[in-house]
Amino acid sequence: MNFAGFAAAEVATLFAVGAAVITGLYLLRMRRRQVVVPFADLWQRVTAESDTRRLWKKLRRMFSWLIQLLLLALICLALGDPRPDAWLREPVTLAIVVDASASMAGVYTDEQDDAQAEPRTRLQAAVSRARAEVAALGPADRALVISAGTEIRVPAPLSRDAGALLRGLDNVSTTEPGEADLGRALDLAANAVSDQPGGQILILTDGALDRASLAAIDRCIAGPVTCQVKQFGGPAPNVAITAFAARRYPDDREHVEVLAEVQNLGEAPVSLTLDIAADGVSVGKNTLQLQPGARQTSTIRDVDAARTKLVARLLPPPSTELDPDDPTRGGLGPADDDIAYAIVPPLRPLKVALVTDGTNLFLEAALLTLEDHIDLSGVAMPEARPDHPILAEADVVLYDVGDNPLPALPERNLVVFDPWRRVDANFLIPRQNDITRPFLTEQLKDHPLLDSIVLKDVNIRRGTSFALDQGDQALVRSIGEPVVVLRTGSYQTVAFGFDLRQSDLPLRVAFPVLVANIINYFEQSMPGFVASVPVGARRPVKVAAVGLNADGLSSVEVLGPEPGENDASTTIPSEVVPLQDGIFRMRATQPGFYRVVAADGPHAGTEVRLAVNQASASASDLRSRLPELGPEVVKDEAPTPVPLSEGPLWTLLILVAAGLIAVEWISYHRRVTV
């Protein structure tokens, strides 16, 4: 406590002088008025006081004297303008950034906590610490609260009102699926306090962060604003569904295949059950035994394709009940990542364009046998420009150039036969050597493009080998030289270093199988084959990838997530999102099933379904990844609460003095102190 008005010595001197004056006045003998009355002896006997009454009169005068001294003390203190130390320090502007990501649902433990205390989540501990920070703010200090989940929220804007800040912290009560976007949160905090007096940033996190958030903390610590971190650790057992998807069989449209990947992110073995349901009906249960760090994939085949909504759940083993007092749920950890969703997407025909001069009927015949699930179009060689409408919309373009020059290639998935027949050709995979009568000696048998195919005895008149770049795969080699190559990237290219007309491959049973493998390979790798989106504040989604026609479409309506089985709410959030270049940004902050509806255009009202999942091992890993921080960065100790958050105190002292004066006045007139 310090004095902002009169100094302590001056206050003490003023009180001493005033007390001496008041005491002197009370020591003066009261001068009594003389009244002459008859029968003095009689009146003296009547007015005579007992010893007890005399003592009470003395005590009443002593009480009155003490009240006067107390009034004097209050007035002297008011002149000194007393203020707590927190009021006299430089003002502080504090940004409290609370990590609200999925990992903050883990259990928090602290060696200083009572072992018998009820387990708390890491988020609850972080909010409790934020409340302590608010309680330590002085009257001149300001603070704001930022919640950092997949979206950035400001539950309490910059304010001096502790009540408003605490009410904002009441809204930071649940974690959000996915990772914390600490980069944007810390940028917002820095912008809010950097030009304010005493700007500071406090990060409350468990340290289970991705690389982007760790880099954001490093930038914050190295920045001009004081940045400190308080970490809330705890036990890290957790099992999560890290992948869940469904796909149709291209050659069997009546059935689908379901895949789920489960990973034990803890440090102890775990037993559990994986239950997969389709439209509310269980289609498979697997009991899994996972060692620490182990990952296991479960596949359920031949699921009825009429069931389109799939849900996977992690449950305790059969006949095992979770202990309600076990905060780790038997090693399963937080429940948010124990459920995942998948949609069986519609399988539209693959758009295939064949660029040919019409002399290779074997290739056309093999493609025509697949017409049940491809939309085949032909383009004459002279018309094969990259901007040709058929080529621009095709999913896969096959080039059978023969003796013709290789035309300019569009940015699509490509299959090219004998691209280097002319040395002046312009092809993206460089030519290495010309080969006379190449023998196909090696092939990748396990690659889906060569499934059930043996090419070693194929006779070829001439061919060309390719120079591989990083990432290229040599599917078939001729004495070590690549003659069939796969290049992956935004689009994929399969290059055959020989002309079908100069080989006997079209006469073999393997040829139509090879063509079917090529179509199936591209069909399964097409966007939208698995209709699932990861959790995120603004996820880019191509409308064509989810099955909507982009022609004339300028916006879509996103509805979801749909209510769960135990959710009594019937309201489904909706948002109209504009398109740009056929892409809309989807607000997918909660896992579940969503619907995307074309809002305009010739296909307005067309609807597709999407699944949103956390499905991230990084988000489900509860272990801290924060590097060791220096003592100047770590803020472990909670601040001492300010004794009084509002002032000035001298007004309170004056009010108390006025109250005492009122009491003294009442007691005087009621003849209590006279």
- pLDDT tens profile 451-468: 889 998 899 999 999 999
| Token pair 């934020």 in the structure block, residue | 130
DSSP 11-67: HHHHHHHHHHHHHHHHHSPPPPPP---SSHHHHHHHHPPPHHHHHHHHHHHHHHHHH
How many Å apart are CA 492 and CA 103, to the nearest integer? 37
Domain containing residue 273: CATH number? 2.60.40.3230
Does residue 628 belong to any structural domain of this protein? no
The verdict on 97 and 179 lying in the same domain is yes
Decide if pLDDT at 56 tops 60.
Answer: no
Domain boundary among 473, 489, 524: 524
Query: Over the Cα atoms of the chain, what is R_g?
Result: 41
Do you know the residue count of the chain? 674
Cα 395 to chain centroid, rounded? 34
Decide if pLDDT at 116 tops 50.
Answer: no
Q: pLDDT by residue (tens digit) across 620-630?
A: 899 999 988 88
Q: Is 574 helix (H, G, I), strand (E, B) or coil?
A: strand
Are the C-beta atoms of residues 177 and 615 closer than 8 Å to each other?
Answer: no
How many Å apart are CA 381 and CA 361, to the nearest integer? 15
The verdict on 209 and 257 lying in the same domain is no
Q: pLDDT by residue (tens digit) across 358-377?
A: 888 899 999 988 877 788 99
What pLDDT, on the 0 to 100 scale, is given for residue 466? 96
The verdict on 224 and 248 lying in the same domain is no
Mean pLDDT lowest among 150-164, 189-203, 283-297, 316-330: 316-330
**Identity (one letter) of the amino acid at 645?**
S
- Pairing mode, strands 142-148 and 152-159: antiparallel
Q: Which residues pair with 100 in a beta bridge?
A: none
What pLDDT, on the 0 to 100 scale, is given for residue 67? 77
Does residue 625 belong to any structural domain of this protein? no
Q: Quick one: pLDDT band at residue 250, thresholds 50, 70, 90? A: low
CB atoms within 10 A of CB 329: 19
| Token pair 């290229």 in the structure block, residue | 472
The verdict on 517 and 398 lying in the same domain is yes
CA-nearest of 298, 296, 264 to 284 is 298
CB atoms within 10 A of CB 331: 22
Cβ neighbors of 661 (< 8 A, separation 6 or more) are 71
Across the chain, how many H-helices and E-strands are there? 13, 33
**pLDDT top residue among 52 and 600:** 600
- Which tokens sit at 559? 């509805």
What pLDDT, on the 0 to 100 scale, is given for residue 35? 64
State the burial class of residue 455 (Cβ atoms within 10 Å of its Cβ: 0-12, 13-18, 19+).
buried
Are the C-beta atoms of residues 150 and 536 closer than 8 Å to each other?
Answer: yes
The verdict on 175 and 255 lying in the same domain is no
The verdict on 395 and 284 lying in the same domain is no
Domain boundary among 524, 559, 588: 524
What pLDDT, on the 0 to 100 scale, is given for residue 169? 95
Average pLDDT over residues 412-432: 92
**pLDDT top residue among 428 and 114:** 428
The verdict on 98 and 73 lying in the same domain is no
Kind plus residue range of the DSSP H or E element containing 494? strand 493-496
The verdict on 605 and 520 lying in the same domain is no
Cβ neighbors of 501 (< 8 A, separation 6 or more) are 359, 360, 402
What pLDDT, on the 0 to 100 scale, is given for residue 307? 77
In degrees rounded to 5, what are phi and psi of residue 4?
-95, -15
What pLDDT, on the 0 to 100 scale, is given for residue 26? 67
How many Å apart are CA 174 and CA 102, to the nearest integer? 9
Domain containing residue 487: CATH number? 3.40.50.880
How many Å apart are CA 613 and CA 382, to the nearest integer? 47
Mean pLDDT lowest among 32-46, 289-303, 611-625: 32-46
**Identity (one letter) of the amino acid at 32?**
R
Q: Quick one: pLDDT band at residue 66, thresholds 50, 70, 90? A: confident
What pLDDT, on the 0 to 100 scale, is given for residue 513? 93
Domain containing residue 165: CATH number? 3.40.50.410
Q: How many domains does the chain have?
A: 5
**pLDDT top residue among 234 and 661:** 234
- Pairing mode, strands 374-380 and 396-400: unpaired
Mean pLDDT lowest among 154-168, 279-293, 408-422, 542-556: 542-556
Average pLDDT over residues 561-580: 81
Mean pLDDT lowest among 77-81, 153-157, 416-420, 475-479: 77-81
Are the C-beta atoms of residues 123 and 100 closer than 8 Å to each other?
Answer: yes
Q: Is 389 helix (H, G, I), strand (E, B) or coil?
A: helix
Cβ neighbors of 65 (< 8 A, separation 6 or more) are 22, 23, 26
- Pairing mode, strands 281-290 and 270-278: antiparallel
CA-nearest of 155, 147, 137 to 93 is 137
Mean pLDDT lowest among 395-399, 549-553, 585-589: 549-553
What share of the chain in percent tops pLDDT 70? 85
Kind plus residue range of the DSSP H or E element containing 41? helix 40-47
Average pLDDT over residues 288-314: 87
Average pLDDT over residues 131-148: 90
Decide if pLDDT at 48 tops 70.
Answer: no
Does residue 164 belong to any structural domain of this protein? yes
- Which tokens sit at 634? 């770590």
What pLDDT, on the 0 to 100 scale, is given for residue 529? 46
The verdict on 34 and 167 lying in the same domain is no
Query: The pTM is what?
Result: 0.66
Does residue 326 belong to any structural domain of this protein? yes
Are the C-beta atoms of residues 5 and 87 closer than 8 Å to each other?
Answer: no
Q: pLDDT by residue (tens digit) across 85-103?
A: 656 668 899 999 999 999 9
What share of the chain in percent tops pLDDT 90? 44
Are the C-beta atoms of residues 362 and 511 closer than 8 Å to each other?
Answer: yes
Q: How far is CA 454 from CA 96, 445, 542, in A?
A: 65, 8, 38
Does residue 643 belong to any structural domain of this protein? no
Does residue 31 belong to any structural domain of this protein? yes
Q: Is 203 helix (H, G, I), strand (E, B) or coil?
A: strand
Q: For 60-125, what is the HEC assignment? A: HHHHHHHHHHHHHHHHHHHHHCEECHHHHCCCCEEEEEEECCHHHHCEECCCCCCCCCCCEEHHHH
Decide if pLDDT at 286 tops 60.
Answer: yes
The verdict on 26 and 152 lying in the same domain is no
Decide if pLDDT at 46 tops 60.
Answer: no
How many Å apart are CA 237 and CA 234, to the nearest integer? 9
Decide if pLDDT at 58 tops 60.
Answer: no
Cα 669 to chain centroid, rounded? 71
- Pairing mode, strands 350-356 and 396-400: parallel
CA-nearest of 364, 361, 486 to 415 is 486
Does residue 379 belong to any structural domain of this protein? yes
Q: Quick one: pLDDT band at residue 603, thresholds 50, 70, 90? A: confident
**Identity (one letter) of the amino acid at 416?**
V
Q: At what angle do helices 162-170 and 122-135 cross, to 10 degrees?
A: 180
User: Mean pLDDT, the chain, as a whole number?
Assistant: 84
Domain boundary among 182, 201, 231: 231
What does the longest C-alpha to C-alpha distance in the chain come to?
Answer: 159
Q: Quick one: pLDDT band at residue 114, thresholds 50, 70, 90? A: very low
Q: Quick one: pLDDT band at residue 5, thresholds 50, 70, 90? A: low
The verdict on 39 and 141 lying in the same domain is no
Decide if pLDDT at 557 tops 90.
Answer: yes
Decide if pLDDT at 528 tops 50.
Answer: no
- Which tokens sit at 662? 């009122």
Average pLDDT over residues 228-241: 91
Average pLDDT over residues 241-262: 81
Average pLDDT over residues 340-353: 83
What residues make up the domain containing 180? 88-231
How many Å apart are CA 564 and CA 340, to the nearest integer? 12
Does residue 172 belong to any structural domain of this protein? yes
Mean pLDDT lowest among 83-87, 537-541, 631-635: 83-87
The verdict on 38 and 77 lying in the same domain is yes
